[in-house]
Each structure stands twice: as C-alpha cells, then as structure tokens.
Amino acid sequence: MPQRVHLIISGRVQGVGFRFFCVDLARQHGIRGWVRNTEDGAVEVMAEGEEADLKLFVQGCRRGPRGALVRDCQETNEPPAEMFDSFEVTF
C-alpha cells in the first residue's frame, strides 16, 4: 500500500546537487512526488511510494549527495493521495 512522507532537510543542502540527487534516488526506488529548495536554505520533499521503497529513499535523503551535510531531516507521514505520476524538481 502506498505511503506518503513530507521531508524538510536542512544543513548544507543547496548548491550541492541535492535536488537532482533526490530525483535519481526516487527513480531508483519507484518514488513519485517532488523536491524543491526553500527560501530559508532547506530542501523540501513530498514523496509517495511503497513502504520499503520509501524507507530506502528517506535513508538516502538523510545522507544526501557528496558535498552535502545534512544536519536535520524533519519527517512527517501523511495520508497517500496517489496524485503524482513521476518525481520532479519544482520551484
């Protein structure tokens, strides 16, 4: 059964390819949703997928790409809406 998670990732996460890392990671795990930079320097993610795949995706987001330094990852589970067809960078 699909699940949904909302992440706010902070630290050195902008200017290091974090959003595109998330897109690649999402595609590897069949995750749908979006990722974007926030005005306060964080990265925000809304992701849906099967539980096991979503866990692996979130673990990857907690590490981030080479050059990133994740200091915090706030994770909120939400009811799945199954409204995404892919995973994309939004602005």
Active site residue 63: no
**Contact by Cβ (8 Å): 20, 14:** no
pLDDT tier at 83, thresholds 50, 70, 90: confident
| Residue ranges covered by each domain of the chain | 2-78
Residue 62 a catalytic site member: no
Report pLDDT for 1. Answer: 84
Q: How many whole angstroms separate alpha carbon 55 and alpha carbon 57?
A: 5
pLDDT 10s digits, 8-65: 999 999 999 999 999 999 999 999 999 999 999 999 999 999 999 999 999 999 999 9
Contacts of 11 (CB under 8 A, 6+ apart): 64, 68, 69, 70, 71, 72
Catalytic residue (one of 4, 19, 63, 77) = 19
Q: What's the pTM value of the predicted model, to 2 decimals? A: 0.95
Catalytic entry in 37, 63, 66, 71:
37
Q: What is the CATH number of domain 2-78?
A: 3.30.70.100
